[in-house]
Chains A and B, each alone.
Chain A
Amino acid sequence: MKLTKLTAVLIALSLSAGAMAAKHDVNIKFSKGISKKQRKFMDRDLEVLEKLEFFRDADQETLKVMGLQKLNSKTATTWLEQRVAFVIEETDWKKIEKKISIEEKFFSFENQNVEPTIERPTSAPTGEGVVVMSNLGAALYYAGKSSRSLFSYPIKTGLFKKEKVKFSSPRAGLIMIGEGHFMDRFDHDQDNKDAKANSFGRLSTFFHEARHSDGAGKNLGFFHAVCPDGHDFQGYNACDRNLNGPYAVGAQMTKEFLKNCDDCDDVVKEKMKVSYLASVDRIIIETKKPGSSDSFDVTTLEFSLEMKEMLLAFQSGAEKEAAMKEITELKAKILAISESEGTIEVTASQYIDASPEGERID
């Protein structure tokens, strides 16, 4: 009797595994901890990508940003596979810390002494949120590199199967997904949850996150830059100071999806357009900096700015908010004077080398 029960359970298990089988061959592994519902959507998205015809030629800009010779379902999926190896469920940061192991101390990292550029937001309240997607691999690689240790993270990928990601490169490719990634409210097509357009939306986010697996030295992880004054999101860490970062990747992929979505209706297309423009708007084309100036006005303002920035650390709430506003205004004033004096320095953003440092190891 017991044996019969066991057989039944085994059959049920094998059947359910069969029913869960993905209809795509994209080589990205999923943690067992991901809910069936989320897994179904992710498989569907990858299936859409793998079967997408890309019947319209890709923009030259897309090829340049992605570093591809041509864009088709094969090159797009390969691009993703190179940057994403594992997808795990939303996990509490404390739990993640607990599960991390040190594989090797004094590991030899490339560019060991080069720090990536990390801009600190000058604005923006932080708060509890629902995770959409996060490139944990890039963050944990950097954490390991900073402490000269090779970190690893265990992932249960099957009933009896456990794998280990070693963070020997930002290309380790560990992505965490959360409930936010699947929320109806972010869908391009709110009338049909299974619409291709909704896969396109999630895929664009996936491509954006995948770009964080790239870069070396000071460009490691393509970390975001602080949006400049006057930008809709001024002061937030939500822009890119290069032409081929995550926002450019997300924007160009949205554009390509839009070009290849003949069955998207006007409402969906308009939503995709605004999504494309909102990503393009995050790309900082040039950075203006006041050059050195002997002018009394500039020197006085700069002194005042320095003082206010120092005091920020001791302020909070409305007081801090007011101080930040004053700082923004001061910066704008200094920039305006520099511009009129002709001492302003303008640096155009560049396409940066996306090659990653290190390489994946098993």
Chain B
Amino acid sequence: MLLQKAKGLTKKTKITYLIIIMAITIIAVAFLFKAKLDETNTSSARAPINTEEAHHHHDHEEENHDHTINAAAAPAKTNIIRIGSQGVESEVEKWTLPVFKSYVNDTFKTLPNLKDARGLKDEEVHQNPKLVMDAGLRLGSIKKQIKLNSEFEEEGMKFYDKCALKKDGLTPVRALCLANLVYMKNQKGEDFELEKYPEKVKDLAQKALELSF
């Protein structure tokens, strides 16, 4: 009706309005309503809570079943660690190394890729899509655990390197991984070659490094 009111508009003009509406509208696609959350994919600082879940997806690395993971070792309530001037609020938030490794492996597998991104609906892309935010959540959990356990550093840096080099990964996620890696290498005073990372990832990582770590 509006378009009728605006008499004399061509079909092309109408299409133009639609493009404008799309170009200024942030829309999340309806599938967000569907589906139970897959806890391991979406929860915040939650570690996998049982052995089966932790090892289900991989038949590799973790051959040693002494690394049994149970709910006590990897408490489900890991989501309120706050590291402030008072230090760590709760020791119980710490994961074990196998849990951390498993989480890091799962995270690498679930990192969003270009194919996922380019399959999104136009409207979903206006705002940061959920798949980017989910990756941020996982990177957050990894970072939190590295801060809590210095023995996770090596494993963490390996992950950051793989993530930053992930060719089909999304640039902001790769950049944040690279920034974390650069920060950790600097803290350790280790030399570090940046040549192997693409320019666009390095440029954005540079922006990330302006933020506090």
Using CB atoms and an 8 Å cutoff, list the residues of chain A in contact with chain B: 93-94, 96-98, 100, 102, 118, 120-121, 123-135, 138-140, 142-144, 146-147, 149, 151, 178, 180-181, 183, 185-186, 190-191, 205, 208-209, 212, 221, 223-224, 230-238, 246, 255, 258-259, 262-263, 265-281
Q: List 24 A-B contacts (CB under 8 A).
A: A118-B19, A123-B118, A125-B119, A126-B121, A130-B33, A135-B25, A138-B24, A142-B17, A143-B2, A144-B6, A147-B9, A178-B27, A180-B26, A190-B79, A224-B24, A237-B19, A266-B81, A267-B45, A267-B137, A271-B133, A273-B208, A274-B128, A274-B136, A281-B171
Given contacts A94-B1, A274-B172, 11 further A-B contacts (CB under 8 A): A118-B16, A130-B28, A130-B33, A180-B26, A186-B127, A191-B44, A208-B127, A237-B23, A258-B211, A265-B83, A277-B175
CA distance A27 to B171 in the complex (A): 38
Q: Cβ of B11 < 8 Å from any Cβ of A?
A: no
Known: A255-B211, A273-B208. A129 touches B83 (CB 8 A): no
Q: Check A132 against B2 for contact (C-beta < 8 Å).
A: no
Please tell me if the beta carbons of B147 and A132 are within 8 angstroms of each other in the complex.
Answer: no
Of chain B, the residue at the smallest CB distance from A130 is: B28
Cross-chain contact B27 with A280 (CB below 8 angstroms)? no
Which of A94, A142, A267 gathers most chain B CB within 10 Å?
A267
Nearest neighbor of B33 in chain A, beta-carbon distance: A130
| Contact call B122/A125, Cβ cutoff below 8 A | yes
A134-B25 CB under 8 A given contacts A191-B80, A265-B144: yes
Bound CA–CA A237/B44 (angstroms): 31
B30 at the interface (CB under 8 A from A): yes
Contact A124 B133 (CB under 8 A): no
Question: Residues of B with Cβ closer than 8 Å to A?
Answer: 1-3, 5-9, 13, 16-17, 19-30, 32-33, 42-45, 79-84, 114, 117-128, 130, 132-133, 135-137, 139-141, 143-144, 147, 170-173, 175-176, 200, 204, 207-208, 211-212
A contact residues around B176 at 8 Å (CB): 270, 273-274, 277
Compute how far the CA of A235 lies from the CA of B117 in the bound complex, rounded to whole angstroms. Answer: 12
Looking at the complex, which one of B26, B81, B114, B132 makes contact with A274 (CB distance below 8 Å)? B132
Q: Name the A residues within 8 Å of B132 (CB-CB).
A: 274-275, 278
Known: A134-B26, A142-B20, A270-B139. A97 touches B83 (CB 8 A): no
- Contact A259 to B170, CB < 8 A, known contacts A147-B6, A234-B118, A266-B140: no
Nearest B residue to A134, CB-CB: B25
Question: Is the pair B211, A273 in contact by a Cβ cutoff of 8 Å?
Answer: yes
Q: Which of A94, A120, A144, A273 has the most CB of B within 10 A?
A: A273
Interface SS majority for chain B: helix
B114 neighbours in A (Cβ, 8 Å): 232
Known: A224-B24, A275-B128, A278-B132. A269 touches B140 (CB 8 A): yes
Whether B19 and A209, one on each chain, are in contact in the complex, defined by CB atoms closer than 8 angstroms, is no
- Contact across chains for B17 and A127 when beta carbons are under 8 A apart: no
CB-defined contacts of A269 to chain B, threshold 8 Å: 140
Q: Which residue of B lies closest to A127 (CB)?
A: B121
With A221-B24, A266-B140, A268-B140 as contacts: A130 and B125 at CB distance below 8 Å: no
CA distance A128 to B34 in the complex (A): 14
CA distance A234 to B133 in the complex (A): 19
- The answer to whether A273 and B136 touch (CB under 8 A), given A126-B123, A143-B6, is yes
- A132-B27, A149-B5, A183-B28 in contact; A190/B123 too (CB < 8 A)? no
Known A-B contacts A221-B24, A270-B139; the reply to A98 vs B1 at CB < 8 A is: yes
Q: How far is the CB of A179 from chain B (nearest CB, A)?
A: 8
- Chain B residues with CB under 8 Å of A151's CB are 2
Which residue, of B26, B120, B136, has the highest number of chain A Cβ atoms within 10 A?
B26
A233 to B112, CA, bound (A): 13
B136 close to A270 (CB less than 8 A): yes
Once A223-B24, A232-B171 are accepted as A-B contacts, the answer to whether A186 and B8 lie under 8 Å apart by CB is no
Q: How far does the alpha carbon of A147 sit from the alpha carbon of B2 in the complex, in Å?
A: 10
B1 to chain A, nearest CB (A): 4
Please name all residues of chain A whose beta carbon is closer than 8 Å to the beta carbon of B6 when the two chains form the complex.
143-144, 146-147, 149
A93 to B17, CA, bound (A): 12
Closest residue on chain B to residue A224 by CB atoms: B23
Q: Which of B20, B136, B137, B172 contacts A223 (CB 8 A)?
A: B20
Residues of A within 8 Å of B26, CB to CB, are 131-134, 180-181, 205, 208-209
CA distance A129 to B26 in the complex (A): 9
How far, in Å, is A4 (CB) from chain B's closest CB? Answer: 45
Report the minimal beta-carbon distance from A246 to chain B, rounded to whole angstroms. Answer: 8
Q: Which residue among B23, B81, B121, B143 has the maximum number of chain A CB atoms within 10 Å of its CB?
A: B23
The one of B79, B124, B139 that contacts A129, using a Cβ cutoff of 8 Å: B124
State the CA gap A259–B84 with chains docked (Å): 15
Note all chain A residues with C-beta closer than 8 A to B170: 232, 278
How many Å from the CB of A66 to the closest CB on chain B?
Answer: 17
A276 surroundings in chain B (CB, below 8 A): 207-208, 211
What is the distance, in angstroms, from B78's C-beta to the closest C-beta of chain A? 10
- Among residues of A, the one whose C-beta sits closest to the C-beta of B207 is A280
**Chain B residues with CB under 8 A of A234:** 118
Determine how close the nearest CB of chain B comes to the CB of A112; give it in whole angstroms.
14
Known: A102-B5, A190-B137, A267-B44. A118 touches B20 (CB 8 A): yes
B121 touches A190 (CB 8 A): no
